[in-house]
A and B are shown apart, each in its own frame.
Chain A
Amino acid sequence: MWFRAKQPNADTSSDSSASPTDAIDAARTGGKLPNTGLPTDGFRQNGISSRPADSVPTAPNQSIQPQPNVVPSSLPTHATPRPDLTCDIDESLSWSTHPADDIQHETDCESRDTFHNGGFEVVTRTLAWSPLQTTRVPIKLPALRVKTNGFLFPEAASWIPKTQAPANASVAGRIGGDESESKSPAKRPQRKIGKHARIKPPNDIVKLQDRLYYLLQPPLDLLVGSGQLNFPFEPFPYQLDGIAFLFPRYACVLADEMGLGKTMQAISTMRMLLCSGELRNILLVCPKPLVSNWLREFSVWAPEIPVMAIEGNAAKREFQWRATNAPVKIANYELLMRDKEIVLESGLHFDLVALDEAQRIKNSNNTTSEIVRAIPRTRSWALTGTPVENSPDDLVGIFDFLSPGYLTAGMPLPQMAKAAGDYILRRTKDMVLDDMPPKLFRDADIDLTPEQWARYEAAESDGIIHLEELEESLTIQHVFELVLRLKQICNFDPVTGASAKLQRLEADMEEVAASGQKAILFSQWTKTIDKMRPAIEKFGVLEYHGKIPHKKRETVIDQFKNDPEKRIILMSYGAGSVGLNLQFCRYVFLFDRWWNPAIEDQAINRAHRIGAAGSVTVTRMMAAGTIEQRIASVLDQKREMFDTLFAAQNEPSSTHDRAPKPASNSPLSRTGGLNRDEIFGLFDLRAPGGKKVA
């Protein structure tokens, strides 16, 4: 590249009108300076264009001052030597410049006149400038060199999970609003525009390529939106955030408040990691009553993933531990202690070990904690609604599983919070209120204990035989009696007192109490309430039902409101479903289901009323594979039918409506529970004089 060199500026005094621009223009136009009216003699050149004007000598005796057209003969008549040319270009990039000496100023073309004036001989001299020459300064401009860095993604990262059909209405562990809400996705809360559920690398991933691998993954909400990532129900935005949190982490605690869907988030993340080839072998450890719940949740949220529950006798369990046909194994804490040798010493290794209800290992010294810490593994996740129950050291116990020694007992609280911050995700209902409907329904499908199941099957088969023998004398009352009998067995085994529902209730109440919340429990029968009381006495129990005298009822309610030690109130549907305001309660348990959903709605609305502080989690307990599920299924169908028929009327009670209409106005109230044929149909019986109802 070549530059035209900048022409030397004329050294003009402050009152000179010959600007540097003029000088350059002169050079371009053949070297003739514009007629400034000034003497050309004594015109100086100064090549330092950047020289400030005020640095030019201005003493009166200096020749640059404007003078009359009288030039003393002693003045030099040649031009000032031309200085070096400069250019605003980095000299290091130039390979040569023309020395100023090369430019010759021709001063021989001059004319001289002499005249006399007042006795003086005046000599005037006209200097002729040679045409100013342009010059070319070669500048070498090196090409901009660009260094690049890049990488290819592994092929497995482009996985596309199988599309699955939506599950039926009644689904275990479903987190969501009313069924009507799930039918109309348009009503679901949408993620704010521009805010995506991005997978962000945790701080303990250091290598740039590894960090970029996660950063450059598409946001989860877009995968869901494009239909590539399918869920039976559209997850809430905060749940996608939870998945994005778990996905890249090798050690973490998901500590969401109960009811926000930790299970769903963990399963969905496992599914994604299995599909992308990052995991092949997962061990999930949970309390024994929750094993069946996890199995069901897997069947809902990751139906394509084979799951195996470790159970049975020692030989069977050993075979299951070594089996490779199921990438996900579910074991309970108690069993882990029995199978310690197989798990720890037979060369097993898990890509991920996830602990549900991880507060069980808050005490680092107990045997369970020692065993889970010793399981050979690559990733460690802890799921708990109450990471800290009594003291910050509870967290130390959990971190001894995640990253031994990272937190230490007695660590100052701010230091511990800072260190653990990147490893823990905890959201409360208040935090995700915008994302959530005012009511969350959890259908807890519970497997009966072996004793209950044996009793139930015997009662049902004997009962049906008896009903069939009644033939024409069969009445709806007979069927009701059998239903009630079976429902009572679903609550408690009448002989041994075993209750799978109670086990589940205890586990959930641990979490409710630890988070400082209160709960209402509803049952049809006061006998059931009597039976469950001893087991949950530790949570501070109050009772409110028909056996409580009216004059004492007000006291009970006051005590429940004001006594922080009283965490749960046991109510019967009849006594507790109307006229009470218990909106400070965030949890409602339906230990058994009422015939009519409208009654259930009224009961739920004790906690969820206008002005409720936050959303309410309703846990509907149902014994899997029993009459309870059959009734629920019939009621769900009717509910769906009414939702369709009365969709327009149901509009105002959408997800975002925080003040639901009274239950009496709900379409559900018009279902009126089960009709005669439906009740007979529960046992595949033919109503006398009627048709057989399948």
Chain B
Amino acid sequence: MGSSKDAAAATTIGYFTTVESERTGWTGGLLVLNGAGRPLEFQCTLPIRPSRAHEILFGTTLRQHLISEVIGPTLLQKCRTPISLLCCGQPEAISLQENLPSSAASLPASSAVRSTVVAVVQREDEKRIRELEGHCRVTLGNATLHVAMERIDDAETAIAGLSDIVDTHEPFERITEAIREAQSQMARAA
């Protein structure tokens, strides 16, 4: 690890969320920003539609399965930029920490942390802070993040290199907008 300045430069923040639509299905988006909030990489999925069998089998756990076992790991696998801190917009992504693909589980030495830290962003409209078992709260910009207890040190290291992130919620809007744009273009092409 180099100087703290280098570490800050190597700190990246990923934003992962999914958009569910009855018409198209589930679409996931991953936006990677540098410490200054500028975009480095964007990955998104084509819409996937779980079958009836999936719905029956997974029941109420289908969302979690899709978010943290299907869409999330796939996007992380495809992403070429090492991600220090991955902010997830949905609480179902909390188990993504256990499902990290190898590329995210072992980051290059130049990265600020040894593996991607998964954090769930407390929603803006949630006034009361939820408690997630085995997770601690940390603050980034204007948001509260829930991070696995054993990764809290890494999370704080990553957050130290993200001082220019003012509005932690805003990049989710960009992803949603980008997914909407992609879907509308696909709809026009169809």
A interface residues with partner B (beta carbon < 8 Å): 1, 88-90, 93, 139, 141, 143-153, 157-160, 196, 198, 208, 211-212, 215-219, 222-223, 225-228
Q: How far is the CA of A627 from the CA of B28 in the complex (A)?
A: 64
**Partner among B71, B78, B166, B173 whose Cβ is within 8 Å of the Cβ of A226:** B166
Selected A-B contacts with CB under 8 Å, 22 pairs: A146-B70, A146-B74, A148-B44, A148-B46, A149-B44, A150-B41, A150-B79, A151-B42, A152-B40, A152-B41, A152-B81, A153-B38, A158-B40, A159-B38, A196-B173, A208-B181, A212-B42, A215-B178, A216-B178, A222-B170, A223-B37, A228-B37
Interface contact A90-B56, CB-CB below 8 Å: no
**Could you list 5 further interchain pairs (A-B, Cβ under 8 angstroms) beyond the known A141-B54, A148-B78?**
A146-B48, A146-B74, A149-B46, A150-B42, A222-B37
Which residue, of A93, A148, A211, has the highest number of chain B Cβ atoms within 10 A?
Answer: A148
If the complex has contacts A89-B53, A219-B170, are A157 and B75 also in contact, measured as CB distance less than 8 A?
Answer: no
Q: How far is the CA of A160 from the CA of B175 in the complex (A)?
A: 22
How would residues 33 to 71 of chain B score, 1 for a CB under 8 Å from any chain A CB and 0 otherwise? Answer: 110111111111110101111101100000000100011
Closest CB pairs A-B (n = 10): A150-B43, A158-B38, A146-B74, A147-B46, A226-B164, A148-B78, A216-B39, A226-B166, A153-B39, A146-B45
Minimum C-beta distance from A201 to chain B (A):
8
Asked if B177 lies at the interface with its beta carbon under 8 angstroms from chain A, I say: yes
Name the residue on A nearest B51 (C-beta). Answer: A90
Interface contact A225-B44, CB-CB below 8 Å: no
Asked if B80 lies at the interface with its beta carbon under 8 angstroms from chain A, I say: yes
Name the residue on B nearest A139 (C-beta). Answer: B53
Provide the residues of chain B in CB contact with A215, threshold 8 Å.
174, 177-178, 181
Asked if B132 lies at the interface with its beta carbon under 8 angstroms from chain A, I say: no
Name the residue on A nearest B30 (C-beta). Answer: A150
If the complex has contacts A149-B44, A226-B36, are A141 and B53 also in contact, measured as CB distance less than 8 A?
Answer: yes
Name the residue on A nearest B46 (C-beta). Answer: A147
Interface contact A144-B36, CB-CB below 8 Å: no
Provide the residues of chain A in CB contact with B31, threshold 8 Å.
216
Interface contact A225-B166, CB-CB below 8 Å: yes
Q: How far is the CA of A149 from the CA of B54 in the complex (A)?
A: 24
B interface residues with partner A (beta carbon < 8 Å): 28, 30-31, 33-34, 36-46, 48, 50-54, 56-57, 66, 70-71, 74-75, 78-81, 164-167, 170-171, 173-175, 177-178, 181-182, 185
Interface contact B39-A93, CB-CB below 8 Å: no
Interface contact B57-A141, CB-CB below 8 Å: yes
Minimum C-beta distance from B120 to chain A (A):
21
Q: How far is the CA of A158 from the CA of B37 in the complex (A)?
A: 9
Provide the residues of chain A in CB contact with B43, threshold 8 Å.
148-150
Which secondary structure characterizes the binding site on chain A? loop
Minimum C-beta distance from A150 to chain B (A):
3
Interface contact B39-A196, CB-CB below 8 Å: no
Name the residue on A nearest B25 (C-beta). Answer: A144
Interface contact B34-A158, CB-CB below 8 Å: yes
Q: How far is the CA of A47 from the CA of B98 in the complex (A)?
A: 44
Minimum C-beta distance from A151 to chain B (A):
6
Minimum C-beta distance from A95 to chain B (A):
13
Interface contact B45-A144, CB-CB below 8 Å: no
Interface contact A211-B56, CB-CB below 8 Å: no
Provide the residues of chain B in CB contact with A151, threshold 8 Å.
41-42
Q: How far is the CA of A88 from the CA of B81 in the complex (A)?
A: 43
Interface contact A157-B170, CB-CB below 8 Å: no
Name the residue on B nearest A1 (C-beta). Answer: B57
If the complex has contacts A158-B38, A222-B167, are A144 and B48 also in contact, measured as CB distance less than 8 A?
Answer: yes
Q: How far is the CA of A150 from the CA of B46 in the complex (A)?
A: 10
Minimum C-beta distance from A226 to chain B (A):
5
If the complex has contacts A144-B66, A222-B170, are A90 and B52 also in contact, measured as CB distance less than 8 A?
Answer: yes
If the complex has contacts A139-B53, A146-B45, A215-B181, are A152 and B80 also in contact, measured as CB distance less than 8 A?
Answer: yes
Provide the residues of chain B in CB contact with A219, threshold 8 Å.
170
Q: How far is the CA of A224 from the CA of B78 in the complex (A)?
A: 32
Minimum C-beta distance from A136 to chain B (A):
15
Minimum C-beta distance from A248 to chain B (A):
13
Name the residue on A nearest B57 (C-beta). Answer: A141
Interface contact A208-B182, CB-CB below 8 Å: yes
Interface contact A89-B56, CB-CB below 8 Å: yes
Provide the residues of chain A in CB contact with B167, threshold 8 Å.
222, 225
Q: How far is the CA of A151 from the CA of B53 in the complex (A)?
A: 33
Minimum C-beta distance from A474 to chain B (A):
58
Q: How far is the CA of A158 from the CA of B9 in the complex (A)?
A: 12
Provide the residues of chain A in CB contact with B54, threshold 8 Å.
141, 144
Provide the residues of chain A in CB contact with B50, threshold 8 Å.
144
Q: How far is the CA of A93 from the CA of B46 in the complex (A)?
A: 22
Interface contact B42-A228, CB-CB below 8 Å: no
If the complex has contacts A147-B45, A147-B46, A218-B37, are A212 and B178 also in contact, measured as CB distance less than 8 A?
Answer: yes
Q: How far is the CA of A160 from the CA of B177 in the complex (A)?
A: 24
Provide the residues of chain B in CB contact with A157, threshold 8 Å.
38-39
Name the residue on B nearest A206 (C-beta). Answer: B185
Minimum C-beta distance from A273 to chain B (A):
15
Minimum C-beta distance from A26 to chain B (A):
24
Q: How far is the CA of A212 from the CA of B79 in the complex (A)?
A: 16
Interface contact A93-B81, CB-CB below 8 Å: no
Interface contact A160-B174, CB-CB below 8 Å: no
Interface contact A216-B174, CB-CB below 8 Å: yes
Provide the residues of chain B in CB contact with A146, threshold 8 Å.
28, 45-46, 48, 70-71, 74
Provide the residues of chain B in CB contact with A144, threshold 8 Å.
48, 50, 54, 66, 70
